[in-house]
Amino acid sequence: MKGPHNIWRLVRTGATFERTGAMQAVLEAVDAPRPIRIAARVLGWPFKWLGLRGDPSVPPVPRALTALGPAYIKFGQILSTRPDVVGPGMALELQVLQDKLPPFAMAEARRVVEQEMEKPLEAMFSEFSEPVAAASIAQVHKARLVEDGRAVAVKILRPGIERAFRKDIDAFYLIAWLVETLSPASRRLRPRDVIEHFEGVVMQELDLRIEASACGEFHANTGRDEGFVVPEVEWFLSSRRMMTLGWVEGITLSDLAAIDAAGHDKKALGARVLQMFLRHALRDGFFHADMHQGNLKVAANGDVVALDFGIMGRLDVYTRRVYAEILMGFIRKDYRRVAEVHFEAGYVPADRSIDEFAQALRSVGEPIFGMDASRISMARLLAYLFEVTERFGMETRTELILLQRTMVVVEGVARSLDPDINIWVVARPVVEEYITEHVGPKAALRDLWQTVRVLSRFGPRLPALAEQALLAQANPPRPQRRNPWPERLGYGAAGLAIGGVVAAVLALI
Question: Which residues are catalytically annotated?
Answer: 290
Q: CB-side exposure of 91: number of CA atoms within 13 Å?
A: 20
Q: Which SS3 state, helix, strand or coil, does residue 299 take?
A: coil
DSSP-assigned beta bridge partners for residue 200:
none
DSSP 389-411: HHHTTPPP-HHHHHHHHHHHHHH
Burial call 297-330: b when 16+ CB within 10 Å, e when fewer: bbbeeebbbbbbbbbbbebeeebbbbbbbbbbbb
Residue type, 418: D
Query: Do residues 257 and 225 touch, judged by C-beta distance below 8 A?
Result: no
Q: Which SS3 state, helix, strand or coil, does residue 287 take?
A: strand
Rounded Cα distance, 214 and 210, in Å: 6
Distance (Å) of CA 343 to CA 347, 348, 355, 383, 440: 6, 5, 11, 19, 18
Rounded Cα distance, 449 and 283, in Å: 19
Instruction: Report residue 120: phi and psi, to 5°.
Output: -60, 145
Sequence-separated (6 or more) residues with CB below 8 Å from residue 493: none
Rounded Cα distance, 186 and 446, in Å: 46
Which of these, 44, 41, 36, 79, lies nearest to 181 by C-alpha position? 36
Rounded Cα distance, 230 and 309, in Å: 10
Sequence-separated (6 or more) residues with CB below 8 Å from residue 481: none
Sequence-separated (6 or more) residues with CB below 8 Å from residue 344: 322
Give CA 368 to chain center in angstroms: 25
Residue type, 493: A
Sequence-separated (6 or more) residues with CB below 8 Å from residue 415: 270, 421
Count of beta carbons in the 10 Å neighbourhood of residue 265: 14
DSSP 125-170: EEEEEEEEEE-SSEEEEEEEETTT--EEEEEEEPTTHHHHHHHHHH
Instruction: Report residue 151: phi and psi, to 5°.
Output: -80, 140
